[in-house]
Each structure stands twice: as C-alpha cells, then as structure tokens.
C-alpha cells in the first residue's frame, strides 16, 4: 500500500480535504482490508520492473476497481493501460464478467476516459473522497 500512498500524496491529495486524505489513509492501512485480501474478497494485480513493484490494481466484488496506482517514475509508459487490459481479459475469461466499474479520482478521470470508461453519474464526494463513478463494458 506504500505505492498507493506515495502516489496519492503526490498527485491527488491536493484536491482532497484533510478529512478525505485521512479517510484514504485509513482505508489503505485498515486491517480489515488486509484480511479481505487474505480471504480472497479483494484481488491484487501488479506490474513489476524486475523485482520492483511499479503498478498495482485492486479488485473488489469481482467487478470494481478499488485502487489503481503507478509509480511516478513509470507514468505514461502504458503500465496503467496494461493493468486494465490484463484485468479485462481476466474478467471475461476467468470470471465471465462483461463490465468493470471504478470510482475515479479527479486525477484519473481523463485516463479512464481514454480507455473507454464512461461516467455513470457526475462527480460526487463522500467522507471527503472525491470521485466520479464510471463503467467500462468489456
């Protein structure tokens, strides 16, 4: 989760309230989240450069992207796109799912639009977290 925290602080935290920043930190450091990974309720897909973690994507409820972060030094190299492509193939072939959703941060909206995600509703805010609900039909 250190990759998620570093990237969030660098690119996203400035548009969030202190409450939103704290709630994001609480979410990624919560022991319940860790147990959900262990139990298989959350899945994580990663991108590596050798042994270095450079990208991560987490999936909950089989169809919802919960976290997607790429190390700052690896931005604009297709890593996020590759993670989404891998996930799409996985959902179609392994899970027989035909769509994926995400609550995009303001920073990620343009990225998701370029990949074909569409807004489900206008930007929302809950507990200081700003997001746009989106969907991609596989």
CA angle (42 as vertex; 126, 55 as ends), nearest 5: 85
- Number of structural domains found in the chain: 1
Please tell me the predicted confidence (pLDDT) of residue 46: 97
Q: Which of 17, 21, 18, 26 is nearest to 8 (CA)?
A: 21
CA atoms of 33 and 27, how far apart (whole Å): 7
The mean pLDDT of 24-51, rounded to a whole number, is 89
The pLDDT tens digits of the residues spanning 63-107 come to: 999 999 999 999 999 999 999 999 999 999 999 999 999 999 999
Share of the chain above pLDDT 70, in %: 100
Query: Looking at 1-138, which runs of residues are DSSP E strands?
Result: 42-49, 52-60, 64-70, 99-104, 118-119, 124-126, 129-137
Give the domain range for residue 111: 2-137
Please tell me the predicted confidence (pLDDT) of residue 41: 82
CATH number at residue 8: 3.40.630.30
Residue that is written with structure tokens 């989404």 in the block? 84
Residue 73's Cβ-side half-sphere holds a number of Cα atoms within 13 Å equal to: 6
pTM over 0.85: yes
């Amino acid at each position: 989760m250190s990759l998620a925290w570093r990237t969030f602080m660098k690119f996203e935290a400035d548009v969030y309230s202190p409450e939103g920043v704290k709630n994001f930190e609480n979410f990624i450091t919560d022991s319940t989240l860790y147990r959900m990974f262990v139990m298989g309720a959350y899945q994580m897909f990663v991108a590596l450069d050798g042994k270095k973690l450079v990208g991560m994507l987490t999936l909950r409820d089989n169809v919802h992207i919960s976290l997607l972060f790429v190390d700052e030094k690896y931005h604009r190299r297709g890593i996020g796109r590759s993670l989404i492509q891998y996930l799409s193939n996985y959902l179609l072939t392994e899970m027989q799912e035909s769509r994926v959703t995400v609550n995009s941060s303001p920073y990620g909206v343009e990225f998701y639009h370029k990949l074909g995600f569409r807004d489900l509703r206008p930007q929302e805010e809950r507990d200081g977290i700003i997001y746009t609900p989106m969907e991609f039909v596989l």
